[in-house]
Chain A
Amino acid sequence: MRTDKTIGGLDAAAGAGPLLEARGLHKRFGRSEVLHGVDFSVRRGEKVCIVGPSGSGKTTLLRCLNLLVEPTCGQLFYKGAHIGEWPGGVKVNVGRYRSRIGMVFQHFELFPHLTALRNITLGPRHVLHEEKAAAEKRAMELLARVGLERFATAHPRTLSGGQKQRVAIARALAMRPDLILFDEPTSALDAEMVDEVLNLMRRLAEDGMTMVIVTHELSFARDVADRVVVMEHGAVVEEGAAETMFSAARSQRTRDILRVGARR
């Protein structure tokens, strides 16, 4: 664990550069390499959708960004500060770095022993060390924002999939993150619940949240994304502004993926 001095960069105002940038990321699991030198960046306020067939390395890339997975090779920068370099390692307090980056999981990952409210206050209370009353007040506001204020005392097992994911989004928002990573947030949902989650994500996007979204929802990507990154076989096939990508992608493979969509 490093001192606060080293992570001063995390607090610095973002300059003109990207909020988060990965350079030349490789990730090897045993003998198979799932990322072959991926460059990725996101600017403040930008919405980036990562699409591609399953097994293309999208999720691994996302998990490298908040260091749930440590890259085998490559570099990571956050607001211009060096977060880590591999081979080598992390140069900052990982916990503090992660606390700036929200994550929404495919299978929600609400804490089953806690009520919806306590799920949301856990991070603010025990990572940000907020007062209980303040954390709960804000959690209630967030529950209202995701339309679930009546469910504050509900345990996750009593919620529907869509409700769980909305609580999970509120949990991520409670940390006041600089950006939120979404790992296929609607893939585990029944069809009728997909829209309630996508609509909430649209509202977040309108509010200016920086979002990196791994998704198979192409129409959502087309509507919401500023930029679309197409991945296959652990590499970026093509990336560009959403409207260009959906209308005039350069490669045939991109056109295939964006038209047909990826099946899991």
Chain B
Amino acid sequence: MSSQTLVDLLRGGVVTLKIACGAWVVSAVLGLALAVLQDLGIAPVRAVQSSLVIGLRSVPQLVLLYLLYFGLGAVGIQVNSILAAILALGIADAAFSAEYYRAGFMTVPRTQREAGFSLGLSPVGVMMRVVVPQTIPFVVPPLLNSFVGLLKTATLAAAVGAPEILYRGQNAMSRTGQLVLVMTVIIVLYVAATMPLTRAVAVLERRVRSHAHG
């Protein structure tokens, strides 16, 4: 493989990383917003929101991506392929992040909320000052896990022509015909990127658990 092809793949890797990071931020923020809204329990919001979550979970990410990229294009809003991928993957993943947050909220005893209320905090204040901060250690490991997932689903962006790693890999394969070699390089890059992350999640999980009991 020429060094130029390798550089090209690495550049693609950077784009993949960008998409995954962007989608992760969208997912973490939107997931938090969904979980907080659901917790505040305003009935109509809750109804809309839970159907949204179910909907998001059942739609394949690729469909969402096509919808955002081509659908918005059809109504005259031009989105670039990377941004469309960030939004589509982030929104789809937010449905899962929301569940991580909700599970985290359940670890905070009701009496903690009461302590916040007794100071005069509003329901939103109690969520943001008392409940959410205590939840963070519990949601960091699953959120990091979902980042690993996003690194992989980011390759879906190839379908709308985002110049990420798989897209460039396909080009390199058709240019050089070295299918196995190109795929092997991609696999090696992926393993190198995810292994330390997976280790970090395991370590963090152990730390959170011992902290919770200590």
- Among A112, A113, A114, A127, the residue within 8 A (CB) of B119 is A127
- Among B114, B121, B122, the residue within 8 A (CB) of A109 is B114
Q: Is B160 an interface residue (CB 8 A)?
A: no
- Chain B interface size, as a band, is 10 to 19
From 167 to 211 in chain A, residues with beta carbon under 8 angstroms from any chain B beta carbon are: 171, 175
- Among B111, B125, B130, the residue within 8 A (CB) of A105 is B111
Q: Is A126 an interface residue (CB 8 A)?
A: yes
In the bound complex, do residue B119 and residue A123 qualify as a contact, i.e. CB atoms below 8 Å apart?
A: yes
- The CA-CA distance from A97 to B130 in the complex, in Å, is 19
In the bound complex, do residue B121 and residue A95 qualify as a contact, i.e. CB atoms below 8 Å apart?
A: yes
Nearest-neighbor residue (CB-CB) of A100 within chain B: B120
Q: Is A68 an interface residue (CB 8 A)?
A: yes
In the bound complex, do residue B134 and residue A109 qualify as a contact, i.e. CB atoms below 8 Å apart?
A: no
In the bound complex, do residue B134 and residue A113 qualify as a contact, i.e. CB atoms below 8 Å apart?
A: yes
Q: Is A75 an interface residue (CB 8 A)?
A: no
A66, A113, A175: which has the most chain B beta carbons within 10 Å? A113
A residues near B149, Cβ cutoff 8 Å: none
In the bound complex, do residue A127 and residue B111 qualify as a contact, i.e. CB atoms below 8 Å apart?
A: no
C-beta contact mask, B50-81 vs A, less than 8 Å → 1, else 0?
Answer: 00000000000000000000000000000000
- The CA-CA distance from A169 to B22 in the complex, in Å, is 44
Q: Is A135 an interface residue (CB 8 A)?
A: no
- The CA-CA distance from A112 to B133 in the complex, in Å, is 10
- The CA-CA distance from A139 to B117 in the complex, in Å, is 20
- The CA-CA distance from A105 to B129 in the complex, in Å, is 19
Q: Is A40 an interface residue (CB 8 A)?
A: no
In the bound complex, do residue B134 and residue A112 qualify as a contact, i.e. CB atoms below 8 Å apart?
A: yes
In the bound complex, do residue B120 and residue A175 qualify as a contact, i.e. CB atoms below 8 Å apart?
A: yes
- Chain A interface size, as a band, is 20 to 34
Q: Is B115 an interface residue (CB 8 A)?
A: yes
In the bound complex, do residue B125 and residue A126 qualify as a contact, i.e. CB atoms below 8 Å apart?
A: yes
- The CA-CA distance from A114 to B129 in the complex, in Å, is 10
Nearest-neighbor residue (CB-CB) of A181 within chain B: B118
B115, B119, B120: which has the most chain A beta carbons within 10 Å? B119
Min CB–CB distance B104 → chain A (angstroms): 12
From 105 to 136 in chain B, residues with beta carbon under 8 angstroms from any chain A beta carbon are: 111-112, 114-122, 125, 129-130, 133-134
B residues near A99, Cβ cutoff 8 Å: 119-120
- The CA-CA distance from A105 to B116 in the complex, in Å, is 12
Nearest-neighbor residue (CB-CB) of A98 within chain B: B120
B residues near A236, Cβ cutoff 8 Å: none
- The CA-CA distance from A40 to B152 in the complex, in Å, is 64
- Among A101, A105, A126, A171, the residue within 8 A (CB) of B114 is A105
Shortest beta-carbon contacts, A-B, top 10: A99-B120, A109-B115, A123-B119, A103-B118, A127-B120, A98-B120, A95-B120, A113-B133, A95-B122, A113-B134
- B residues in contact (CB < 8 Å) with A: 111-112, 114-122, 125, 129-130, 133-134, 214
- A residues in contact (CB < 8 Å) with B: 66, 68, 95-103, 105, 107, 109-114, 122-123, 126-127, 157, 171, 175
Q: 19 A-B residue contacts at CB 8 Å? A: A68-B114, A68-B118, A97-B120, A98-B120, A99-B119, A105-B115, A105-B118, A109-B111, A109-B115, A110-B115, A112-B134, A113-B134, A122-B119, A126-B121, A126-B129, A127-B120, A127-B125, A171-B119, A175-B120
